[in-house]
A and B are shown apart, each in its own frame.
Chain A
């Protein structure tokens, strides 16, 4: 059974640019959540999508957005990148119980 797949694994962007990250959940999982992991702030909740609708949102600025498609795949977008956006972005999918995480996308903003 395939796990949660995130692409790309690594990304380098310049300040001011925008970026889109992709997440394919485990087959059958309809809930997809996104988390940001940094050494200073740890793991922080960004948002959760369920059946193509954003169900919950964390305390991040509007530059962070996402969407979910009918096949449950999700994308996360960050516009006007700042140096502080450098982090490991993790996606997790759930069937209603535990959350399974992907390996993440390492974003570096220079």
Chain B
């Protein structure tokens, strides 16, 4: 089955700096790659996603890049703010024979933005 590796497990940056989180996936059939932010006591919140026919997508301070050949994708957060502090999860999704999709998640990155 699909396996998603995520690095680093913890990341500490100064406010205003950029943060980069990287993920690799194993199944070349995966075609959808969302990123989620999870704050304490809450469920994961979708922050950005990318499909396999696109190499890069940007939404304000957040961007995601996808390299299908190398099977890796990355989350870039620029001008970090204290409210960006949370756990971030990458995921890969593959269409299943019964229809629908199954998300396989990375192990998460605890991002801390320090003042």
List residues of chain A with CB under 8 Å of any chain B CB.
Answer: 4, 6, 31, 33, 35, 42-45, 48, 50, 55-56, 58, 90, 92, 94, 98-104
Contact = CB atoms under 8 A, between A and B. Distances in A.
Size category, B interface: 20 to 34
15 contacts: A35-B103, A44-B105, A45-B104, A50-B99, A55-B98, A55-B99, A55-B100, A56-B100, A56-B102, A58-B102, A92-B103, A99-B34, A101-B36, A101-B43, A104-B43
Contacts of A6: 43
B41 A103 contact: yes
A45 B101 CA distance: 10
Contacts of A92: 103
Interface of B: 34, 36, 41-46, 49, 89, 91, 96, 98-108
A26 to B, nearest CB: 12
A90 B89 contact: no
A55 B46 contact: no
Contact of B107 (A42, A100, A104): A42
Contact of A101 (B41, B44, B49, B106): B44
Given A55-B96, A99-B46, A103-B41, A42 B102 contact: no
A45 B102 contact: yes
B103 A31 contact: no
